[in-house]
Structure 1
Amino acid sequence: MNATGSTIQPAARVGRGRRSKAFALTLPALALLVLVMGYPLVTIVLRSLSDPAWGIQNYEWFFATPLNLVVLQRTFFISACVTLVCILAAYPYAYLMTAVGPKIRLVMILCVLIPFWVSGVVRTLSWVLLLQDSGVINSLLKSAGLDTIRLIRTPTGVVIGMTQVLLPFMILPLYSVMKEIDLRLMRAAKSLGAGPLRAFFTVYLPLSLPGVYAGAIIVFILALGFYITPALLGGPRSTMLSTLVQNQVLSLLQWGRGGAMGVVLLIATFLLLALAAPVMRQKYKTGARR
């Protein structure tokens, strides 16, 4: 008994020592994270409560102004549309990356990574040239004898531009999950009598849902804070909350109101994610049981 106990206790101490050392190695990164993320966040919250005087008058102004609520709703709606379009566009691309050979897969990965090497402003300005009334897309429609479509200064143009920027953030999580799925499961389902569509929806899709959820969360959160793309491609009917924050802080020097807008957007995002997490977790468990 003593011999066994004396053997277990040193092993436990060694395990605790390793965990302590591992945690100590993360302390510099945690300190940097708190400094870079925590300090600005605390500053914004304090500004929203103290500028021009201590109180909640900035939040009262936000919820008492109908325009702010409309823009907040529009921000979430456009972000949701961008997320949905990214899922529909990224899913077949990521699936194809798992089905092709290594050389073609490398080319497809490079096509995903190349946009990261180009400035977001440059990409957005290129979309201005493509989507404007006399741009490339409408010129092609005219040459084909079709009516032109107004794309610039519309929510549609904003969704197109944001989707192009955020699409890699959807493709990469999807591919990281899909490459671990054994495609023999699909052949097994077909051998048991399932058609291609039924095998896909009952076997492959549930196994790929973690990648869909991860990519959707990343894209949705990033879309909420977009400023350059909506400012250049959008108009009055596609204004997002980040534009209002910029106007309050830089144009009107209302730091308190701008901070209140940012805090409201942050809290609304957390609440939405908290409400969606149980549903996503339940769907994932249901898919896994299948």
Structure 2
Amino acid sequence: MSATADTATAVPAEGGGYLSGLFRAEGRHLSRGGVLLLMAPFFVLLVAAFLWPLVNLLSISFLEPHPTLEHYERVVSNPVYARVLWRTFAIALTVTALCLALAFPVALLMARSRGPMAIFITACVVLPFWSSVLVRTAAWAVLLQRHGLINEGLQAVGVTSEPIQLLYTRGAVVVAMAHVLLPFMVLPIYGALRNIPQDLSRAAAILGAGPLKTFREVILPLALPGVISGTLLVFLTALGYFITPALLGSPQEMMIATLISQQIREMLDWPFAAALVGVLTLFVTAITLIFSRVMRFDRLMGGGA
């Protein structure tokens, strides 16, 4: 029996064995067995490091001290926790909007640049990944303190006569989170813009469309998958952010991740903390499913228009 190059088989191939049969290509693609084998380590890590601990944690919210839903009732019935949830949503939405406003011009410039300029802009976008979130947050704490660089600059130009409260405010949290999460908005938008043929803009100009109309009717619709992808990444990440709000925010501006940490470390109330995790997980899952229904996954990741 002979085997062709474009036909996959799971039987041992001559001189290759069983694994050779698994990885034989079907045209330009691996066989199904080969794909599953390559994905196996990822799924093992996903189950062991994420799904199994999450299931165990969520089970605490239902089963301790006895089978009950009282912890979830406490989350939705207590106005203090409801305000924390709403504040978390509002801050995440504000950070996402700020990142989008800052990221789109940068991504557009990256997509249209060539040579050293493109390398320089890309390096500026990727550079924050070279340092930890803790270091970047600490740097913002130094800048925003009462005698920090920003306050001294405002007094030097006469905007204020004395230091103003910048640290431990919602504004500090929003700005620092936007700085940390900005690359997650820039890169998906850049990927979508790179896939737009330059001929479309030239054709629109030939047909009489100005730069603004070309952007509104050609560039923006085709870049929408990258915009949605970056928005989803930034918003869902901001919902569960912990380090930046904990260091730069005040107790009055507490977010849900900080509340969960407080319930575990200070109150030792694991069931209620698990219920908070369950509510956040449910909210994140719902948003992800809504986005996945609106757009295909490959388009959502900026893979094309």
Same fold (TM over 0.5): yes
**Match of residue 287 from structure 2:** 272
CA distance in 1, matches of 2:186, 2:271: 38
**Aligned partner of 2:36 among 1, 19, 23:** 23
Question: 1:54-98: per-residue Cα shift (whole Å, max 9, x none)?
Answer: 211211221221111110011111011111111110110011112
> Can you give the 5+ residue segments of structure 1 that lack an aligned partner in the other structure?
1-6, 285-289
* 1:118-159 deviation digits (Å, cap 9, x = unpaired): 121111111011112322112111111112653211111100
Q: Distance in 2 between matches of 1:279 and 1:71?
A: 29
One of 130, 138, 163 as aligned partner of 1:125: 138
Report the equivalent of 1:206.
221
TM-score, normalised with respect to structure 2: 0.84
Aligned counterpart in structure 1 of residue 208 of structure 2, from 176, 190, 193: 193
For residues 30 and 204 of structure 2, the distance between their equivalents in structure 1, rounded to whole angstroms, comes to 48
Q: Does 1:233 align with 2:244?
A: no
Structure 2 regions of 5+ residues with no counterpart? 11-25, 300-304
What residue is the counterpart of 2:277 in the other structure? 262
Which of 38, 53, 62 lines up with 2:75 in the alignment?
Answer: 62
Contact 2:8 2:31 in 1 (8 A): no
User: Which residue matches 2:45?
Assistant: 32
Q: Which has the higher contact order (CA 8 A, sep 6+)?
A: 1
Amino acid at match of 2:209: A
Tell me if structure 1 keeps the 8 A contact 2:143–2:149: yes
Match of 1:156 in 2: 171
- Tell me the alpha carbon deviations over residues 24-44 of structure 1, each in whole angstroms, 9 at most, x when there is no partner: 221222112111111111011
| Residues 26 and 68 (structure 1), Cα distance of their counterparts in 2 relative to 1, 3 Å cut | same
CA contact (8 A) 1:226 1:242 kept: yes
Partner of 2:31, secondary structure, is helix
Which residue identity lines up with residue 225 of structure 2 in the other structure? P
CA distance in 2: counterparts of 1:11 and 1:41, whole angstroms: 41
Match of 2:302 in 1: none
Q: What pairs up with 1:63-102 in 2 under 5 angstroms?
A: 63-102=76-115
Q: Is the 8 A contact 1:155 1:237 kept in 2?
A: no
1:249 and 1:258 in contact (8 A); partners too:
yes
1:183-219 CA-partner distances (Å, limit 9, x unpaired): 2211211111111101110000111111111111111
2:261 equivalent among 235, 246, 250: 246
Partner Cα distance (2:132, 2:31) in 1: 43
Deviation digits for residues 146-181 of structure 1 (CA, Å, limit 9, x no counterpart): 126532111111000000110111111111111121
Question: Structure 1-normalised TM-score?
Answer: 0.88
- Aligned counterpart in structure 2 of residue 113 of structure 1, from 116, 126, 138: 126
More helix by share: 1
Match of 1:137 in 2: 150
Of the structure 1 ranges 180-189 and 272-281, higher mean CA displacement relative to structure 2 is found in 272-281
CA RMSD in angstroms comes to 2.4
SS of 1:140's equivalent in the other structure is helix
- 1:11 deviates by 4.7
Q: Distance in 2 between matches of 1:260 and 1:270?
A: 15
8 Å CA contact 1:213, 1:280 repeated in 2: no
Q: Percent identity?
A: 39
Once residues 196 and 115 of structure 2 are traced to their aligned partners in structure 1, the CA distance between those partners, rounded to angstroms, is 17
Q: Name the SS for the 1:266 alignment partner.
A: helix
Which range moved further: 27-36 or 15-24? 15-24
